[in-house]
Structure 1
Amino acid sequence: MSSLRRIAAPLLVTLLTAGLTAGCSGLQGTGDGDYVPGAKGNNVAEVAVEERESPIELSGTTLDGEELALDDLRGEVVVVNVWWSQCAPCRSEMPMLVEASEELDATFVGINIRNSSEAEARTFETKYGVTYPSIHDPGSETLLAFGTRYFPRSMPSTVVLDREGRVASLVSGPIPSRTTLEALVEGAAAADG
């Protein structure tokens, strides 16, 4: 094997692995921000009722110091939004999420990742008028509950759970529109199967 092939083969494997890890979000970076923003294209995946897996078992401590467990929300459609205060797309979509949380028939929960400072995360919530709870998880450990199939790979990411706590849809990157979110919530509520 030539020396070029010995160098190129591992490089190709590394690039392919990075592409798969980034998923639909692309490979654009954010300098020192160290996260992969969501794609601007079609980034919504709905899950047919018959293909939905086990309910998500996830719990943590909110920014208000309260314990929150998704099992306690069974019977409701739950919108879980993964955010970070330094994520520009997270900041852009937050006003729409806050408004939707007050108007849609769903319970909203945030998961704040990467903010090691709870104060910084609370400042973000105050700035945007967030009234629903957010689990503080700077190490992103709670995201493991979504498994490999529905793991939120980009920021922001939004997962809609049906009334049984199963993933009904996943939005990787910013939610395309308020209408999209409404349709996903309605679809999760209607598909009690």
Structure 2
Amino acid sequence: MKPTKVSRLLPLVACLAWTARAAAGPAPVSSLAVIQGQAPEKVKKITLYAVEEGRKAEIANTTVNEQHAFAFAIPAPKEGFYYLSTGGAKGDARIYIKSGDQLKLTLDNGTYTIQAGSAENKQLLQWQNQLHTISQHTFLGDTATYLSFFPKLEALLPKIAGLKKAVNTPNKKFNDLLKYTMDVDVEFAAMRFLLIPHSKHPEKSQYPAYYGQIIQDEKYCDNKLLANGDAGNIVRLYETFTVINGGKKRQGPPSLKENASLFCNDTIKGLLITESLGGFRTFESLTEAIAPVKQYLLTANQQERYLAAEKALRKFSAGEQGFNFAGEDLSGKKVSFNDLKGKVVVVDVWATWCGPCKAELPHLQKLEEEMRGQNVTFLGYSVDETKDKEKWAAFVKEKDMKGVQLFGAGWSDVTKFYDIKGIPRFMVFDQQGRIVSIDAPRPSTPELKAMIEKTLSKG
């Protein structure tokens, strides 16, 4: 899912009439959700986050006015958890928003009180007040030790069953999510407390019995975890917790494949993988670790994050391995760049609507004829949109275009990866799939043929 664009959100100063602004927006007033309230005295800005596949994604921010007031109006919001941040050290305030909601609250560095709001938010606040008894001690700088934290944790645990029974709003979707989230929240707080610095640390023999049930053979099987803005942190924390407390002897750190196997939900495995991408310092180490688990990058968001990580570790210098992009040929068969290793590959990124691309075509066809019989593959990669696929296929047949012709369905991975902003773009790769040039000369100049021949001569 793409995060809601900031331009679709209307940050409001609380003393202004929000209805007039909403009427000018794309969504009807009845679907507009409004969040307004008071910020702590020294806070200057409030940031609003939605949840995108287990992560907090900023969708708007607003400046607090002279009366410490703020407001947001969200046209037709996606129902679920949202977070308000004051930038304080004690975390963000979690709220629940759906179309038409009007929430008025007072923030206080991670906690809040409600003046007016939905049944869901009132129920959520009851839980957050209970959770706060332990969660307040899970941030850096808190002076509590296990001597005070463990008794508070053990006091909360027996209450949870009763708190779940008390969740009875008219919104079944919310009720189910909150009941599930209660267990996740407590585990998160319990693990987090152990894994941050304190002045005193317990021996494992001093842990409450609760810690013994956190590690399970199949963990976080339910996709509802992804509705939690802290899910990315939770899976990483659980991974660390199992290494320290799992009792398994390991030779070195666990692999990404081993860590992914801790979870039984493939999308959550993908979340763990993308949360781990920042730990790699070389392209080779990244691709080696990802290869056994790449099939778990199921969503477009996860795939984009991995692509960005690959790209960040590349310099696109000659000799670097080329990106393994793919497309469909005329028969609908998927063909990838790696399938063509063993030959020099000349890539032409083009489209049927591109005049300069068409102007290069006769020169390209002449070059293909001159290079016939040599160890070269010419690959045409169309960035025509999906709706124009038949137009692309007809053009390829009409012009009798040779080589490998692939349909990329718009400005897809290859253009994003190589920062291709304009076409035609020609690229040359050697027999091992390594970059010769990602901005090669055009066929209408003699330099492209010279580059291909030089690459062939190096074997």
Quick check: 2:326–2:335 contact (8 Å CA) kept in 1? yes
The CA deviation at 1:144 is 5.1
Tell me how far apart the structure 2 counterparts of residues 131 and 113 of structure 1 sit (CA, whole Å): 17
- 1:83 touches 1:156 (CA, 8 Å); kept in 2? yes
Q: Which sits farther off after the overlay, 136-145 or 101-110? A: 136-145
2:52 corresponds in structure 1 to: none
Residue equivalent to 1:169? 437
Q: In structure 2, give the amino acid aligned to 1:69.
A: S
Matching residue within 87, 91, 100 for 2:354? 87
Structure-1 residue corresponding to 2:324 = 57
Deviation at 1:178, TM superposition (A): 4.6
Q: Is the 8 Å Cα contact of residues 344 and 452 (structure 2) preserved in structure 1?
A: yes
Cα deviation for residue 176 of structure 1 reads: 5.8
Alignment correspondent of 2:368: 101
Query: CA offsets per residue over residues 93-152 of structure 1, 9 Å max, x none?
Result: 01121222233131011110034321111222133220222211123223158x3xx433
Contact 1:63 1:133 in 2 (8 A): no
CA distance in 1, matches of 2:333, 2:443: 31
2:351 touches 2:384 (CA, 8 Å); kept in 1? yes
- The two structures have a TM-score, normalised by structure 2, of 0.28
**Does structure 1 conserve the Cα–Cα contact (< 8 Å) formed by 2:426 and 2:442?**
yes
Matched, 1:66 2:337: no
Alignment of 1:136 onto 2:387: no
RMSD between superposed Cα atoms in Å:
2.3
Aligned to 2:176: none
Distance across 2 between alignment mates of 1:166 and 1:111: 18
Number of the residue aligned with 1:180: 447
Given the alignment of the two structures, is residue 78 of structure 1 paired with residue 345 of structure 2, yes or no? yes
* SS in structure 2 at match of 1:159: strand
Residue 121 (structure 1) aligns with: 392
Query: Structure 1: where are the runs of 5+ without partners?
Result: 1-49
Distance (whole Å) between structure 1 residues aligned to residue 342 and residue 443 of structure 2: 26
Which letter maps to 1:112? Answer: S
1:41-79 per-residue CA deviation (whole Å, 9 max, x = no partner) reads: xxxxxxxxx842123312221133122122121110001
Specify whether residues 155 and 58 from structure 1 end up closer, same or farther in structure 2 by C-alpha distance, changes over 3 A only: same
Aligned structure 1 segments of 4 or more residues deviating by more than 6 angstroms: none
Pick 1 or 2: higher relative contact order, CA cutoff 8 A, min separation 6.
1
| Kept after mapping to 2: 8 A contact 1:77/1:185 | yes
1:152 to 406, 420, 444: 420
Q: Distance in 2 between matches of 1:51 and 1:176?
A: 20
Tell me the TM-score normalized by structure 1.
0.63
Alignment correspondent of 2:93: none
SS class of match (2:366): helix
- Which stretch shows the higher mean deviation, 111-120 or 135-144? 135-144
